[in-house]
Amino acid sequence: MTSSQKTAKPTVKEVGPQAPVRVMQIMEHLGAAPNGLPLGRLSERLKMPKSTLLSFLRVLEAAGYIRSVEGIYRIAELGLRLGTIISHANPFPGSLHVTLVELMEESRETTLLAVLADSGQESVYVDMVESRSAIRFSATVGTRRPLYCTAPGKALLAAQSDDWIERYIASTHLVRHRPNTIVEPDALRREVQKVRTQGVAETHEEFSQGVSGFAASVYDLRNRPVAALVVAAPTARARTDRDRLKECARQGATQMSWLLGAPAGRDPA
């Protein structure tokens, strides 16, 4: 074969077409807009020419994934079905496990996911990845802990409304488990405000001797607090590595919130 007969090397565009990515971006933006979006606004958000966008929209509408009514584009039945299939195949909290593993690798400490118990008085661990360190924090999935004196509890507490917090304080006997435990209502209110300001809850031997925790709340598509991400470590190590572990908790919760569809720019509280 002569050089003139050789097949030309494909361009980056040919081997890596952007059309599938554009389609997914369109579906994501429309999925986040229950009232739909007009062509112009969708074009602005995607930074895509209207003529190009319209070509994609026509194909998706013809296939039944979106629909257009009076110039407003919305997710249609097949698009809703696709979303349901994906969410059922990756249900909460399992959908966050990979991030929990990655955070353990990054922090080198035990990571946990906790949710608010039905009683509204405790947090419950629903997933955990243990540190590989010989000396580490360990717990059992299903373990319950008070809200007012643990990192996940404080993160979940700070994410609630002021009225909810006042009802909690009024109905809760603040028991002193350790010398560092907060037992005064006003001190707990100040602690909640501190968590909201910093975006991370922090505890050092407030419930268990020798244990420290850093936690940040995780939000869902509707901006509701659904969990708290926790980085837990022996207190001696946690105090030395405090700033890094706080940032790990903050960034991990932000990543989890993004995976659950929380609004962009949502900071953990």
Query: Could you tell me the CATH number of the domain that includes residue 193?
Result: 3.30.450.40
| Three-class secondary structure of residue 113 per DSSP | strand
Residue 267 resides in a domain = no
Provide the pLDDT for residue 265: 54
Q: Which helix (H) or strand (E) holds 202?
A: strand 201-204
Q: Show the low-confidence residues of the chain (pLDDT under 70).
A: 1-17, 90, 264-269
Q: Could you tell me if 160 and 176 lie in one domain?
A: yes
Residue 16 lies in a domain: yes
pLDDT of residue 95: 82
**Among 98, 26, 11, residue whose Cα is nearest residue 56:** 26
Rg (CA), the chain: 24
Residue 3 is predicted with a pLDDT of 40
Question: What pLDDT is recorded for position 178?
Answer: 95
Domain assignment of residue 3, yes or no: no
**Which of 28, 59, 89 is the C-terminal boundary of a domain?**
89
**Count of domains in the chain?**
2
Last residue of a domain, one of 40, 71, 89: 89
Q: Single out the residue in 89, 116, 142 at which a domain terminates.
A: 89
| Residue 207 and residue 169 share a domain | yes
The pTM for the full model equals: 0.73
pLDDT in the model for residue 14 = 30
Q: What CATH number corresponds to the domain at position 60?
A: 1.10.10.10
CA distance 186 to 191: 9
User: Element (H or E) spanning 58, and its range?
Assistant: helix 50-63
Q: What percent of the chain stands above pLDDT 90?
A: 77
Find the domain containing 29 and state its range.
12-89
